[in-house]
A and B are shown apart, each in its own frame.
Chain A
């Protein structure tokens, strides 16, 4: 076969350069751009943008709500993973397949589903307002939206660990006379812990970043129901790109730190 013209070094070189350039321009350039853009007017301008009470309150609120959502997810996720791995019951494979649905569904659709489910005209919404509780356009709805979009993380992180866990360690614990509770806290929980941790961190960082589901259900009242990502969106809409960029790099740096921590936990696990 005579394809020496393809074999030419220049082609290989050009091909490699194209792929690397694509990667650098698409991923590295935009991220660097936000940092440069936001810090180019000096630190004082950056600090001024962050010191805007609406801005820092939005970041603080997002942190709080994401934390609540993560705690809820750790609880229901640990339970669900346990039940899905250890028990046999009707509908098990159905539940196991729909765990990933929040990942597959567009987040705007997720938000709409929560809005329709909890809205003022729905059964839940009416019951809640009869009790004097406000759901939609208030903080509870934001937490529900965050829990919904991050639901798969904890479950999917724990499941493989539970499947790997040798039941003999548990049985040994029982034969030695340990109670169920003791066995759970001494044998099973330590085995699940790395999964719970990395799942929780992934869920937390995703909840911090979530926009689609939250923007639909939140009332967007500054300081009360305005989350950081929605704030950024609002600033872009009103042409205050510097303010948007300042909050963005705050949020980005936080997310990168969490990502780095997750990598640390995972490589440590791989080493041992």
Chain B
């Protein structure tokens, strides 16, 4: 019985995850190493990877900072009523329930060229939708809960004793933050950062809707994979996808490490 279950589990994991990964890797090298390099050296591929990198950078910075602050406020802010904090707390999770495509649609509806705000920005020469800012906003929306949700439980568990002690001893609140709060949430922040990077690296639906997927302009790595597949350029799609997969696996390994450290402290 026990053997059967173990074999079945191995089978499920192999069919669903391991074999597809191997097929993807062999597919990327289907035309030899030169085919793989050629797929990646295309100008549109390089541009797409650069766009993805930029989005990851901006989104991780913004949502990292604001996510930490929001997490702290939701747990600690005495200047917000309990009710309001509970309400905000449930709103934070909403992007999880929103399909990425709908996330993208929201941005188009609010900031598209036909809207008041969009038209205003267009007039002053600042394109939002079908351009970089819109793609960043869409990714910000999708990844917002990740950091907040990592920081909050640690702060809740920690309690306010140490921070209060520090404050009564006369430490300034920024110093309290750096010397008392920060060391305890550090690993949660690192974990949240890795999650945010992984999610913004792989964001597809929201970005596809907002960007318009314009080659060499607003195309990201994931939307390039999509376009390559639509054009039946399978080897090229596999090549770009393999690069993304390698990054994701690397991030997954980092996550395992961070998780262990997070539990130790």
Contacts and interface: CB of A to CB of B under 8 A. Distances in A.
Interface of A: 1, 3, 6-7, 15-16, 19-20, 22-23, 26-31, 33-34, 37, 76, 79-80, 82-84, 87, 89, 91, 95, 97-98, 100-109, 112-117, 122, 147-148, 151, 205, 208-212, 215-216, 228-230, 232-233, 236, 241, 244-245, 248, 251-252, 255-256, 258-259, 263
Nearest to B114: A241
Contacts of B27: 116
A1 B202 CA distance: 46
26 contacts: A20-B73, A27-B91, A27-B92, A30-B141, A37-B109, A79-B8, A80-B13, A82-B5, A95-B13, A98-B18, A101-B249, A102-B17, A106-B244, A106-B248, A109-B24, A109-B202, A109-B248, A112-B238, A116-B234, A205-B97, A211-B99, A211-B205, A216-B226, A229-B99, A232-B102, A252-B97
A26 B144 contact: yes
B106 A30 contact: yes
B98 A252 contact: yes
A20 to B, nearest CB: 8
B201 interface: yes
A23 B100 contact: no
A160 B143 CA distance: 25
Interface stretch (B118-126, B153-161, B251-259): B251-259
Interface string B56-80: 0000000000100110010001010
Given A80-B13, A105-B248, A232-B105, A256 B18 contact: no
Q: Interface size bucket, B side?
A: 35 or more
Chain A, interface SS category:
helix
A79 B1 CA distance: 12
Nearest to B92: A27
A103 B252 CA distance: 9
Given A22-B66, A252-B97, A241 B109 contact: yes
Nearest to B100: A211
Interface centre among B204, B221, B225 (most CB of A within 10 A): B204
B229 A210 contact: no
Contact of A259 (B2, B16, B97, B225): B97
